[in-house]
Amino acid sequence: MTTTRKPGSSKVKSGTGHGRGHGKAPVRGGTGRGGQRGQAGRRGGHDVKPRSRPGGARPGGGARGGEGRAADAANRPLRFDQIDAAVLEVHGLVHDQGWLADRALERALREARLFAVERRAVAEAVYGVTRWQGQLDWLLAAHGGGPPDLATRYAGWLVRFGGVSGEEAARRLAVPAAGLRRLEQAEARLGALTDPIERLALRGSLPFWLARRFVEELGEAEARALVAVLNDRAPLTVRANLLRGTREELRAMLAAEGTQATPTRFSPWGLTLDGHQNAFALASFKAGRFEIQDEGSQLIALACGARSGWTVVDACAGAGGKALALAAEMRNRGTLWAIDSDQGRLDEARRRARRDGVDNLRVRVVAADEAADAQLADLAGQADMVLIDAPCSGLGTLRRKPDARWRLAPGDPEKFATLQKTLAARFSRLVKPGGRLVYATCAIGRTENEAVAGQIAATLPFDPAPLGPLLGAERAAALGVTGHTLQLLPHRHGTDGFFMAAFTRRKD
């Protein structure tokens, strides 16, 4: 189920949130939402779709052959003044005006006349500064002072993570070099921290409340392992559209297009791309041969066990990422409902379905409140399978959405859990006796996951359904499935953080 947030509705907070207020909860459904949590077209979700220029023109020259342009690009010096200006523009939109990082980056790159290598440098810096903001602010803060300004923070990132000298960074950003010298003893200062929560938060550049929550929910050792990978770039994973061909056929097509791909560890449909090309520009993508989808998201669709001829409901469908995977499992036979409160997202699901050759998809817009009950009355007790991919805090997607850590507030998981329980009660009514319900989030932690699944089992006419038969015994064992639930974690499985729980509606 989708709600919306305007670009300026939730500012990114400075620092780690230690000893300060945390602002309001996000207006929109957190960083995670029911439906597609798509990756961008390059590894880690950090590049935006390319914008064409009239006549194929590029900055600084006209049209030339591909080899000539490639040679020029290899020899052309980077224009750091323009890169730095774009980075500061995006960082200002995110930090001061509350824009989502990917939206701000798309706008800045659309307006700037940058070469491809410069665009990549801007994206790398924007997400790098956002990831490491908490640690940088702590290291750069003068004794008793507040967080640094945007230029100093960016300069600090260049020094600590970008391989730039302090003098060069100070010159490029016109900031005092003396302030950057605080970074010289960074590792010693971090190593001297004795409080485990403070050390975890600053090592991982997280708000203190979030580091504490991870420790409380996962235990200290598991939390350390998780936080150690949250600042890594996530892989670029795609799902082969089986309505168009097999995974191996897709792999061969990608190789012919110059993109290397390896089969995913767990999903039978997935490939991990090398990330060096814009996936959206590939001919195989335009032909509907694949969708960009995290491996964990693919596994949720697999656990639904949708079959040909069934009536299937994706109750919080968004732009249809999982619905399209369900359509492939159904072999285009039966009825697949994509339901959401956001008309625009459902329109996007329709467009994607046409590209993918899906013709059994139906969409329905419903209210985001109790008025949805009457709008769904005709589907009550009709579905063989219902997926509730509920809005959530999105704590499992922090690798792809690094700005989310600074937007969330300590009480947000509990607020989402209240909504999740409401949605579970609403959409579970669509399951027919003997039918299946799958509850899923892209959150990490008991509050939005096991606690909500427990509420479903305790208060609704559903029994837990083992995930092993749905995922396959060998795959379930490799994933560490226990009974009817599974928590996917980036450091264990290489996926984003997802949770799923399966149930069967009682026949009596």
In a domain, 85, yes or no: no
Q: Which residues are designated catalytic? A: 442
- pLDDT computed for residue 27 by the predictor: 35
Which pLDDT band, with edges at 50, 70 and 90, does 74 fall under? low
pLDDT tens track for 176-209? 999 999 999 999 999 999 999 999 999 999 999 9
- Sheet of 261-263: strand order equals 261-263, 270-273, 236-240, 290-292
Instruction: Please name the residues in contact with 153: beta carbons below 8 A apart, sequence gap of 6 or more.
Output: 91, 129, 133, 136, 137, 140, 147
Instruction: Please name the residues in contact with 414: beta carbons below 8 A apart, sequence gap of 6 or more.
Output: 447
Rounded mean pLDDT, 66-79: 63
Q: Characterise 155 by phi-psi region: left (phi > 0), alpha (psi -120 to 50), beta (else).
A: alpha
For residue 385, the number of C-alpha atoms closer than 13 Å in the C-beta half-sphere is: 28
From residue 103, alpha-carbon distances to 5, 89, 123 in Å are: 12, 12, 12
Q: Which helix (H) or strand (E) holds 85?
A: helix 80-97
Cβ pair 390, 419 in contact under 8 A: yes
For tokens 């639904």, the residue is 304
In a domain, 105, yes or no: no
In a domain, 242, yes or no: no
DSSP 319-381: T-HHHHHHHHHTTT-SEEEEEES-HHHHHHHHHHHHHHT--SEEEEE--SSTTHHHHTGGGTT
Domain count, the chain: 1
Q: Is 395 helix (H, G, I), strand (E, B) or coil?
A: helix
According to DSSP, the β-strands at 290-292 and 335-340 are unpaired
Question: What is the CA angle 244-248-254, rounded to 5?
Answer: 80
- pLDDT computed for residue 48 by the predictor: 40
Give the total residue count for the chain.
508
In a domain, 274, yes or no: no
The domain in which residue 336 lies consists of 294-505
In a domain, 498, yes or no: yes
Helices and strands per DSSP (H, E), number in the chain: 24, 12
Instruction: Please name the residues in contact with 194: beta carbons below 8 A apart, sequence gap of 6 or more.
Output: none
In a domain, 228, yes or no: no
pLDDT tens track for 349-387? 999 999 999 999 999 999 999 999 999 999 999 999 999
Write down the mean pLDDT value for the chain: 88
According to DSSP, the β-strands at 498-505 and 485-488 are antiparallel
The two three-digit tokens of residue 488, written as one number: 């996917």
- pLDDT computed for residue 147 by the predictor: 87
pLDDT tens track for 9-56? 445 555 544 433 323 333 333 445 433 344 555 555 444 443 333 333
Q: Positive or negative CA dihedral for 302, 308, 310, 313?
A: positive
Could you tell me what percent of the chain has a pLDDT over 70? 85
From residue 26, alpha-carbon distances to 11, 342, 396, 397 in Å are: 9, 17, 16, 16
In a domain, 93, yes or no: no
Does residue 8 or residue 181 have the better pLDDT? 181
pLDDT tens track for 318-359? 999 999 999 999 999 999 999 999 999 999 999 999 999 999
CATH value at residue 493: 3.40.50.150
From residue 271, alpha-carbon distances to 67, 236, 302, 397 in Å are: 29, 8, 15, 19
Distance CA 427, CA 433 (A): 14
In a domain, 7, yes or no: no
